[in-house]
Amino acid sequence: MAIVVMKFGGTSVGSIERINRVASHVAREVRAGNQVAVVVSAMSGETNRLIGLTQEAASLHDAKEYDTVVATGEQVTCGLLAMNLQQYGIRARSWLGWQIPIRTVGLHSAARIDSIGTDGLMADLENGVVTVIPGFQGVSLDGRVTTLGRGGSDTSAVAVAAALNAERCDIYTDVDGVYTTDPRIESKARKIDRISYEEMLELASQGAKVLQTRSVQLAKVHNVKLKVLSSFIDPENCTEDDLAGTLVCDEGDIVEQLVVSGIAYSRDEAKITLRHVPDKPGIAAEIFGNLADAGVNVDMIVQNTSEDGKTTDLTFTVPEAEADRAVTSLRDAARKGEFGEIQADKNVSKISIVGTGMRSHSGVARKMFETLAAKGINILVISTSEIKVSVLIESEYTELAVRALHSAYELDKV
Amino acid sequence: MAIVVMKFGGTSVGSIERINRVASHVAREVRAGNQVAVVVSAMSGETNRLIGLTQEAASLHDAKEYDTVVATGEQVTCGLLAMNLQQYGIRARSWLGWQIPIRTVGLHSAARIDSIGTDGLMADLENGVVTVIPGFQGVSLDGRVTTLGRGGSDTSAVAVAAALNAERCDIYTDVDGVYTTDPRIESKARKIDRISYEEMLELASQGAKVLQTRSVQLAKVHNVKLKVLSSFIDPENCTEDDLAGTLVCDEGDIVEQLVVSGIAYSRDEAKITLRHVPDKPGIAAEIFGNLADAGVNVDMIVQNTSEDGKTTDLTFTVPEAEADRAVTSLRDAARKGEFGEIQADKNVSKISIVGTGMRSHSGVARKMFETLAAKGINILVISTSEIKVSVLIESEYTELAVRALHSAYELDKV
């Protein structure tokens, strides 16, 4: 018998009616002869409601108490799903973070999973009992409730799958898989059947919101086969095809690699340019040290060699929400005359092409630049990695760029 | 330094604004030099919301999962109050049932407290940390979340006070103490300064809803001094008098016992009469056996000696909500001809006079019967105990009876 981990997010358990559907999905896997561990999020809206209460109760909250409050959302879903499964004649029990235990280390509200106790879970699974586990939560070494931070439920599911040595970790979500790009922008976007961990990581961090970067990273390290599929499939009446979703797996498990697998975009970017930065050692370290101290996450960085050997321009991107903080943190240095003007521009988007096939193909980036040029789209910043090329463009060209690239790399063809 | 346990019910923590007020009350006790343990209920409405979810999720719920869901209400309040106290500069931490641990035995959803670990709590209290404890919840010997059943938060508070050997257990509620009778019926009702455990027990079980019978029983056994007072007092601007409330204590701590301390009433009664019950051994056992099997709680029972030596009438009272179930459970026996007609009457109220002084005074019951007769109120059933006389009357006379008795026993005089 194989162990299967099934993870259902907040929308999938957002009402008792939907929890009923989740139970049917679980029943389907049980009937197929699998041992099933289910990981669930809080009912949609519940975590925000609880966070709202903590914000009202204390402007600066103790993260330990915050976690104690916020972790209840998942606890409620666990109990409800376990009793709902029993209603269908399926033996089930909830296993809370501290009962398993899911031991975490690190900061409260942003804890990392250190170890997962498997004795209790395995005993239940071997007895045919479905174990229902709250995502997002754990317990610290000194026995306090912890949470993994926003979106941590995917990470919980992958960690449980790794600990139980599960055959698959199925992530049920509100889309039926990972697409070549956002179907709301490009109606010809295709569902991807298989994608490598590396590509998924790049897509996730470049703005595709299907999976959390952190969970993909963990799946890669522990070689957990992740499947993304829709929780809105009718569990009583579905085909193998409906359940195919997108498999995130090792590169070796994908027969034919496309050069480019997907196009990601993010509007949540801001570009900051520092003029007349002295071309001397240590200046970049000082600037980015200031930004790090201010808690600003810098993404793309571009610095040209200076023309006159004295000053240069430095451009970088930060999340839009952090742009003002970034500018403030640099103003002191600018005032001291360490560099010239600071220019911030929030009307920018980042477009990325991702594909492991790039490693063995040349001319991939050139096609990107040519395609954008043909549409009259100006490239502001370029950044590349082994399997990704990202460009920063003006926001208003976002959809045009995505569609042009989707077609240029023939992603609309099967 | 004395340890004080403060308990706040659902209405007292029903909003963040009210939790703020609770924090001020706690601050007042801390400033007075006390070591404070706080026991809190779920925010008002929250337990009902959670129970509603479980009912939707499964018509027959697994009590273990039900407890897992419902116990989250108190957990949320604990975290919120702890962070709110910190906001006021008071060191505080939440201690959940399983963290303390509050070990329980017996059925889920109706568990009994078996033991309370005091090491962690005492260490915090001695360090000046306010410990915030969820009422109503515990943990079973096999590590599952349990609940004590409805109203169990008072019981938690008393049990914690007993375990910590606290000087007092202050129950903050939405009234400022225990009254000689319901002030909504008799405007001359007076707050009682001190009342014995025994009297409070009778009043609680006879319909006065200020304290749970179970918690009073526990306080009596462990000799915990209970105080009932209002959480709506302004904590920043209150006198000793405001905080006097009603002290529930040992009979010996009350200087002068009144003959009758209070008048209780309950409209939630139904009277069932079985006609022509054979006057033979074993028949009562069969009838009340049937009722017990159906989960019906029988209160007063009256059986007269039969006139003809063959059959008699048997009358008893049950909670109004269980009347139909009681009748159904007896219908089979009636059909078999074991007795005659079954008559049920829901339009009845129980009126009780309670007072330890009755023990040493005669004529107390007579005054009750005379007072009711003078107002033309017919007595349907009578039941007595050492410190209580209860009568069943027609519902419409409830207020009239309460006011007449309140005056007859001079409870409106100080």
CB contact under 8 A, B57 and A143: no
Instruction: Report the pLDDT averaged over residues B92-121.
Output: 95
Kindly state whether residue B257 falls inside one of the protein's structural domains: no
Q: B44-62: per-residue pLDDT in tens?
A: 999 999 999 999 999 888 9
**Domain's final residue, options B225, B252, B279:** B252
CB contact under 8 A, B86 and A58: yes
Is the domain of B349 the same as that of B231? no
Kindly state whether residue B134 falls inside one of the protein's structural domains: yes
Q: Reduced to 3 states, what is the DSSP secondary structure of residue B51?
A: helix
Q: How far off is chain A from B74, nearest CA to CA, in Å?
A: 10
Contacts of A144 in chain B (CB under 8 A): 99
Is the domain of A14 the same as that of A122? yes
Is the domain of B296 the same as that of B232? no
Q: Could you tell me if A256 and A357 are in contact, meaning their C-beta atoms sit under 8 angstroms apart?
A: no
DSSP B279: -
CB contact under 8 A, B79 and A68: yes
d(CA A79, CA B215): 28
Q: Could you tell me if A108 and A92 are in contact, meaning their C-beta atoms sit under 8 angstroms apart?
A: no
Q: How far off is chain B from A69, nearest CA to CA, in Å?
A: 5
B255-284 b/e with 16+ CB inside 10 Å = b? eebbbbbbbbbbeebbbbbbebbebeeebe
Kindly state whether residue A258 falls inside one of the protein's structural domains: no
Is the domain of A208 the same as that of A267? no
Position B46 scores a pLDDT of: 96
Q: Which residue has the higher pLDDT, B76 or B205?
A: B76
Is the domain of A230 the same as that of A275? no
Phi-psi category of residue B353: left, alpha or beta, with phi > 0 → left and psi -120 to 50 → alpha: beta
Is the domain of A112 the same as that of A21? yes
What tens-digit pLDDT sequence spans chain A (414 residues)? 899 999 999 999 999 999 999 999 999 999 999 999 999 999 999 999 999 999 999 988 899 999 999 999 999 999 999 999 999 999 999 999 999 999 999 888 889 999 999 999 999 999 999 999 999 999 999 999 999 976 689 999 999 999 999 999 999 998 889 999 999 999 999 999 999 999 999 888 776 678 888 899 999 999 999 999 998 888 888 888 889 999 999 988 887 777 899 999 999 999 999 988 888 778 888 889 889 888 888 888 888 777 777 888 889 999 998 899 999 989 887 888 778 889 999 999 999 999 988 888 888 999 999 999 999 999 998 988 889 999 999 999 999 999 999 999 999 886
Radius of gyration over every alpha carbon of chain B, rounded to an integer in angstroms = 23
Kindly state whether residue A413 falls inside one of the protein's structural domains: no
Kindly state whether residue A257 falls inside one of the protein's structural domains: no
Kindly state whether residue B413 falls inside one of the protein's structural domains: no
Contacts of A66 in chain B (CB under 8 A): 79, 83
> What is the CATH number for A371?
3.30.2130.10
d(CA A186, CA A408): 13
How big is the CA angle at A377 (ends A371 and A382), to the nearest 5 degrees? Answer: 80
Task: Report the chain B residue with the minimal C-alpha distance to residue A42.
Answer: B69
Q: Which residue has the tokens 């029990």?
A: A93
Position A193 scores a pLDDT of: 93
CB contact under 8 A, A80 and B65: yes
d(CA A409, CA B118): 67
The ipTM value here is: 0.82
Q: Could you tell me if B345 and B315 are in contact, meaning their C-beta atoms sit under 8 angstroms apart?
A: no
Q: Could you tell me if B224 and B170 are in contact, meaning their C-beta atoms sit under 8 angstroms apart?
A: no
Structure tokens at B400: 């009239």
Q: B209-230: per-residue pLDDT in tens?
A: 788 888 999 999 999 999 999 9
CB contact under 8 A, B62 and A82: yes
Is the domain of A304 the same as that of A387? yes
Domain, as residue range, for A192: 3-252
The residues of B whose Cβ lies within 8 A of any Cβ of A are 16, 19, 50, 53-54, 56-62, 64-69, 72, 75-76, 78-84, 86-87, 93-94, 96, 98-99, 143-145
CB contact under 8 A, A57 and B16: yes
The band of B258, judged by pLDDT with boundaries at 50, 70 and 90, is: confident
Q: How far off is chain A from B17, nearest CA to CA, in Å?
A: 8
Task: Report the chain A residue with the minimal C-alpha distance to residue B61.
Answer: A83
Q: pLDDT exceeding 70 applies to what percent of chain B?
A: 98
The residues of A whose Cβ lies within 8 A of any Cβ of B are 16, 19, 50, 53-54, 56-62, 64-69, 72, 75-76, 78-84, 86-87, 93-94, 96, 98-99, 143-145
Q: What is the DSSP string of B218-254?
A: HHHHHT--EEEEETTS-TTS--TTTTT-EEEE-GGG-
CB contact under 8 A, B65 and A94: yes
Task: Report the chain B residue with the minimal C-alpha distance to residue A81.
Answer: B57
DSSP A283: H
> What is the CATH number for B151?
3.40.1160.10
- Asked if omega into A134 is within 30° of 0 (cis), the reply is no
Q: What is the SS3 string spanning B324-359?
A: HHHHHHHHHHHHCCCCCCEEEEEEEEEEEEECHHHH
Is the domain of B145 the same as that of B272? no
Is the domain of B352 the same as that of B288? yes
The band of B68, judged by pLDDT with boundaries at 50, 70 and 90, is: very high
Contacts of A16 in chain B (CB under 8 A): 53, 56-57
How big is the CA angle at A13 (ends A56 and A117), to the nearest 5 degrees? Answer: 85
Q: How far off is chain A from B295, nearest CA to CA, in Å?
A: 23
Is the domain of B64 the same as that of B163? yes
Neighbours of B66 (CB within 10 A): 24
If one counts the domains in chain B, the total is 2
3-state helix, strand, coil in chain A (%, to 5): 35, 25, 35
Phi-psi category of residue B351: left, alpha or beta, with phi > 0 → left and psi -120 to 50 → alpha: beta
Position B305 scores a pLDDT of: 72
Contacts of A94 in chain B (CB under 8 A): 64-65, 68
Is the domain of A214 the same as that of A273? no
Task: Report the chain B residue with the minimal C-alpha distance to residue A47.
Answer: B76
CB contact under 8 A, B57 and A94: no
Kindly state whether residue A184 falls inside one of the protein's structural domains: yes
d(CA A316, CA A270): 8
d(CA B414, CA B409): 12
**Domain's final residue, options A213, A233, A252:** A252
CB contact under 8 A, B86 and A62: yes
**Domain's final residue, options A252, A287, A302:** A252
Position A49 scores a pLDDT of: 96
Q: Could you tell me if B22 and B39 are in contact, meaning their C-beta atoms sit under 8 angstroms apart?
A: no
Q: Which residue has the higher pLDDT, B308 or A273?
A: A273
Is the domain of A169 the same as that of A272? no
Q: To which H or E segment does residue A402 belong?
A: helix A398-408
Kindly state whether residue B258 falls inside one of the protein's structural domains: no
CA atoms within a 13 Å half-sphere pointing along the CA-CB vector of A26:
35
Q: Which residue has the higher pLDDT, B161 or A238?
A: B161
